[in-house]
């Protein structure tokens, strides 16, 4: 699947933050990180993410439509909060995958589901890419193929299951969920076969989902509010809750309203989450925060720390990189 070639909301930050000085914001973040170090033992999290790039050498394929991606890994950890890494990250894989395919990470592999052919017909192909060790890598075909081909599908991991969701043809208000068993290499369709989709999650809905246990989560904007939306796949129940303070602390309005430019939400452990976003200065920002329940049973958010990593320049002048997919690598 494609060739493997190893090649080397806009947030505003003060000059003191960029040049290593201590600003009021970083001082507050430092105090927060120290306080959370007493609550949570120091932890380290390996994150996998990919970003699209323009491939001037890509040839037109008469059969498949392709997208070009760079895949990266980075580590965020509580031992050194507020870290800024100015050494540019290098991709561990760079090449092409089917256009509008879905990705999911399970164990030591990234799985790729579906996509679109040049004829605009959906494909049922599956493939996997080994993440470690860091050697030359190629996508390997996986069988059996998907039960039903569809582009703009979605894939998530719930416990040890890979769940792929496909919108019902000609009715994007509903979707059908399929389960893939990695060990037995088998597919099955989940009941009920026709599930209603939350109104706020119809556009790229499951492509940006976050799975925790048997529940999928999204971060979305409704007017001037940031909403955390949850879907229990076993009970077929939707929940939503307003996330106060997040819209001004880490998610700029113009990025949130821009579709694929939305920041990405990751679950690290227990009540700890992370928001990832790229900025116009070619940095990947990782903001770690903890979600808790208060006495009045509402949701509280406390920021723990932030880390930044330098990424390569984008061809989109004046615009940040797009995070197409990201996940926590579980060892």
Please state which architecture CATH assigns to domain 15-329: 6 Propeller (2.120)
**Nearest-angstrom CA–CA distance, 266 and 253:** 20
Q: Does residue 173 register a pLDDT over 90?
A: no
Please tell me the predicted confidence (pLDDT) of residue 223. Answer: 65
pTM: 0.68
**Residue 32, pLDDT score:** 42
Q: Output the pLDDT for position 18.
A: 33
Comparing C-alpha atoms, which of 177, 182, 113, 176 is closest to residue 149? 113
Torsion angle (degrees, nearest 10) of CA 223, 224, 230, 236: -20
Instruction: Please state the rounded mean pLDDT for residues 104-124.
Output: 82
Indicate the pLDDT class of residue 210, thresholds 50, 70 and 90: confident
- The predicted pLDDT at position 71 comes to 92
- Quick check: 39 pLDDT over 70? no
Please report which confidence band the pLDDT of residue 266 belongs to, taking 50, 70 and 90 as the band edges: confident
Residue 128, C-beta contacts closer than 8 angstroms, at least 6 positions apart = 109, 110, 111, 112, 139, 140, 142
Nearest partner of 326 among 126, 73, 77, 10, judged by Cα: 73
Measured between alpha carbons, how far is 275 from 208 in angstroms, rounded to an integer? 12
User: Sorting pLDDT into bands at 50, 70 and 90, what band is 155?
Assistant: confident
Backbone angles phi, psi at 139, to 5 degrees: -75, 135
What pLDDT band is residue 56 in, cutting at 50, 70 and 90?
Answer: low
| Contact (CB, 8 A) for 34 and 117 | no
Domain ranges of the chain: 15-329
Q: What is the mean pLDDT of the chain?
A: 71
What's the mean pLDDT in 43-58?
82
Give 277-321 pLDDT, tens digit per residue. 888 888 998 888 777 655 654 556 677 888 999 998 877 777 788
Q: What's the mean pLDDT in 60-68?
A: 69
Confidence of residue 128 (pLDDT cuts 50, 70, 90): very high
Amino acid 311: pLDDT = 92
Q: How confident is the model at residue 80 (pLDDT cuts 50, 70, 90)?
A: low
Give the mean pLDDT of 70-84: 83
């Amino acid at each position: 699947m494609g060739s493997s070639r190893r090649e080397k909301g806009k947030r505003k930050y003060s000059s003191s933050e960029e040049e290593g000085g201590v600003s009021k914001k970083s001082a507050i973040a430092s105090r927060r990180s120290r306080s959370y170090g007493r609550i949570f033992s120091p932890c380290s999290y390996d994150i996998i993410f990919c970003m699209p790039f323009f491939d001037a050498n890509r040839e037109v394929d008469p059969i498949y439509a392709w997208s070009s991606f760079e895949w990266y890994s980075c580590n965020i950890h509580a031992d050194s909060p507020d870290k800024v890494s100015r050494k540019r990250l290098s991709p561990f894989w760079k090449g092409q995958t089917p256009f509008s395919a879905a990705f999911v990470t399970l164990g030591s592999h990234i799985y790729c589901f579906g996509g679109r052919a040049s004829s605009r017909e959906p494909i049922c192909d599956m493939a996997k890419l080994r993440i470690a060790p860091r050697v030359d890598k190629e996508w390997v075909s996986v069988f059996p193929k998907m039960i039903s081909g569809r582009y703009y599908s979605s894939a998530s991991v719930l416990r040890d299951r890979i769940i792929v969701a496909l919108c019902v043809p000609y009715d994007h208000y509903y979707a059908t969920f399929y389960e893939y068993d990695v060990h037995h290499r088998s597919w099955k369709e989940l009941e009920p076969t026709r599930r209603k989709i939350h109104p706020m999650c119809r556009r790229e809905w499951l492509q940006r989902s976050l799975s925790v246990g048997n529940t999928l989560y999204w971060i979305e904007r409704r007017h001037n509010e940031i909403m955390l939306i949850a879907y229990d796949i076993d009970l077929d129940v939707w929940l939503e809750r307003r996330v106060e303070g997040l819209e001004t602390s880490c998610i700029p309005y113009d990025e949130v309203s821009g579709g694929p430019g939305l920041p990405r939400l990751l679950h690290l452990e227990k009540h700890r989450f992370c928001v990832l976003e790229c900025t116009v200065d070619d940095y990947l920002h990782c903001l770690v925060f903890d979600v808790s329940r208060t006495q009045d049973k509402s949701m509280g958010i406390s920021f723990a720390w932030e880390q930044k990593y330098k990424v390569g320049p984008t061809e989109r002048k004046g615009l940040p990189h797009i995070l197409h997919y990201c996940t926590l690598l579980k060892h």
